[in-house]
Structure 1
């Protein structure tokens, strides 16, 4: 048996017998892709598929976050069935988990200090200008709202809730008028900086506390308030998928059905795109349909490879990353911030490494990608160490 086989078998043997390997692999693939696209050597040199779409439309990168939201829903349903506790206990635990996720997101947002600027004022430029929304903040909010619906609604109610949330979102986006500071009225727009969702972020969060602060006429956030509604629908899609997989029936038949449903959802979303654009920052319902369709395709493929064909060893690195997904995301975020803070000559360590090592060796784009892959390799060593010792960070 070779070194890789022993390494992979050692990882898989640590998995509890009741774990759904395909879900762990899907989670690991997703968080790996998230870290890969978040840590290029240079933001000026990124291959198209590793970038977000400029506005309407999508790239593979735009599927990563909704995949994670979908997986949260699948995991929620499996956990609720595994741990039979009262709704009150589940709600209390869920509220605590949500607050932890939001707190970690805010901690990441605050974890930066400009060491190259002697006049940098962390309180004024970071704390008082804190970006309130974020990836972990959205996961926390979506998780708790979805949990509320799941605890008190049967499967038909959950399905209707997912559809109703998308309907309510569209009602706001197309039916509610809003005004800018000059008194100009708008309604039904899906423009960058001009939509009901953007107006709501600008009005309630403030232009100094969102990601797109210079957007006009309204500053807004891609993880903003109104777009959280259809994001909950994405999570409910994961819950309903897990519920369906738990029903009696042959797994092979379910995989085929999931593949067909995924293809149909993707096709319908692409057709719908002509009327309601697929848009990640706005999290439009067509985007919910598209990303859910692709999530079905990926999950079905993982189930077929792992549970039908028995191909398991290739999954080992993704099991390691997926087992500690939140720790991986937070530690990678902190490491990236350190690389962007430490001064080296006239620049920072991250840029220095890219310019002096990766760019000369591999070129602009390949060097940027090589930096991200090296970042992942080092992260794997750290996460594998945690996995071997059984250090799994439960939020």
Structure 2
């Protein structure tokens, strides 16, 4: 069995192009795998603490997943964009492609928001209860907006202006939340609050969208979305942090060990600055605070440094093969997992759904409540790997 697994992993890694940064591909795969893992427990009632988001201020390991993905997108923008420019593509054509990709990602996000039907309720009305209450913002929607903004800034700003933009986004967002007043429907004024449902970002979401289109529909005094409009601005800074790292990794005069050491140092400094800033501007994923940007980008640098050291310096690679498969089709994996997860909820079995039946009749009796919930998520990953591996072997890579 061990020999089969090793042979399987070696065959995957043998197909990797020599000039590709394996650590980045594996980092992408680990990130999307973690995202699917935490999104698909057997029961939302039984989740281990590291696999939950922080209730409000603070952070958990799960809170690092989304910014890691945006960080990786920033690196890819630099590496891919530089290659396209060297091949003679114009800035305009690259931007046009980025705009088209943004639209596709938004449409995919809306598709997932609409892909649901309650077959057990005779009175269920999909148009009224799904289409007319569709959540406009979301993970793919934020990714789309951040991606396009980062491509635009990278194409037309110098490195110095990019660095200035990073600082302006972080400091400007901080000042905006602290010093711009707002008020509720009764005219009661507020200033500088960062409470759940009571902050400038939540206020703006409530002004732009009907509460039924927001994730936290019943938040008071303002319904809001954790992927809201205003908090997308500091998320762009997360993408810029990836661009900076991508620019540095592209330099030919540094070996992998030097790159790993540099990333580790920068990461530790960024984490420290994020924690320090968090004393005054709390680390908060839903608000995507500036301290959260520094902290998550810092940990992303540390993670990438560790992967470069293990994979490219020490040549310890076999373990990484499944993540190469997942990372090679990250958007396809995300969409596949989203569709299957919804189907498991939609398909009725006995007095429950197929997912509920599998958890209560198979996983919970075998492993217990918390371990059963985790085992379900791991089983979901194993099933997904089979599909993603077939796509990988057949060269089917879904480029949005």
Instruction: Name the TM-score class by shorter chain.
Output: over 0.9
Q: Deviation digits for residues 7-47 of structure 1, max 9, x if unmatched?
A: 11111122223221100000000000000000000000000
Question: Residue 66 of structure 1 aligns with which residue?
Answer: 67
Give the C-alpha shift of residue 345 in structure 1: 1.2
SS in 2 for 1:33: helix
Gaps of 5+ in 2: none
Give the C-alpha shift of residue 319 in structure 1: 0.1
Q: How does 1:68-107 map to 2 (within 5 A)?
A: 68-84=69-85, 85-107=89-111
Question: Residue 38 of structure 2 aligns with which residue?
Answer: 37
- Residue 54 of structure 2 is aligned to residue 50 of structure 1: no
Question: Residue 346 of structure 2 aligns with which residue?
Answer: 341
SS in 2 for 1:219: coil
What is the RMSD of the two structures over their aligned residues, measured on CA atoms? 1.0
Give the C-alpha shift of residue 171 in structure 1: 2.5
Question: Residue 273 of structure 1 aligns with which residue?
Answer: 278
Q: Deviation digits for residues 299-345 of structure 1, max 9, x if unmatched?
A: 00111111111111111000000000000000100000000101111
Q: How does 1:102-181 map to 2 (within 5 A)?
A: 102-181=106-185
Distance in 1 between residues matched to 2:327 and 2:174, nearest whole Å: 34
Q: Deviation digits for residues 244-299 of structure 1, max 9, x if unmatched?
A: 11122232122112111111211221222221100000000000000000000000
Residue 229 (structure 1) aligned to one of 209, 213, 233: 233
Contact 2:29 2:330 in 1 (8 A): yes
TM-score (norm 2): 0.97
Q: Deviation digits for residues 120-155 of structure 1, max 9, x if unmatched?
A: 010001000000000000000000011110001121
Contact 2:105 2:140 in 1 (8 A): yes
- Residue 312 of structure 2 is aligned to residue 312 of structure 1: no
Question: Residue 238 of structure 1 aligns with which residue?
Answer: 242
Distance in 2 between residues matched to 1:254 and 1:392, nearest whole Å: 29
Residue 215 (structure 1) aligned to one of 212, 219, 231: 219
Aligned residues: 395
TM-score (norm 1): 0.99
Question: Residue 252 of structure 1 aligns with which residue?
Answer: 257
Question: Residue 26 of structure 2 aligns with which residue?
Answer: 25
Residue 196 (structure 2) aligned to one of 192, 195, 214: 192
Question: Residue 331 of structure 2 aligns with which residue?
Answer: 326
Distance in 2 between residues matched to 1:181 and 1:195, nearest whole Å: 14
Question: Residue 374 of structure 1 aligns with which residue?
Answer: 379
Distance in 2 between residues matched to 1:16 and 1:157, nearest whole Å: 34
Give the C-alpha shift of residue 187 in structure 1: 1.0
Distance in 1 between residues matched to 2:58 and 2:162, nearest whole Å: 28
Larger deviation, residues 244-253 vs 75-84: 244-253
Q: Deviation digits for residues 162-183 of structure 1, max 9, x if unmatched?
A: 1111222123211111111111
- Residue 209 of structure 2 is aligned to residue 205 of structure 1: yes
Distance in 1 between residues matched to 2:292 and 2:308, nearest whole Å: 24
Q: Deviation digits for residues 167-215 of structure 1, max 9, x if unmatched?
A: 2212321111111111111011110000000000000022111100000
Distance in 2 between residues matched to 1:141 and 1:168, nearest whole Å: 19
Distance in 2 between residues matched to 1:228 and 1:234, nearest whole Å: 10
Distance in 2 between residues matched to 1:194 and 1:281, nearest whole Å: 12
Distance in 2 between residues matched to 1:342 and 1:254, nearest whole Å: 49
Distance in 2 between residues matched to 1:347 and 1:215, nearest whole Å: 29
Distance in 1 between residues matched to 2:125 and 2:247, nearest whole Å: 50
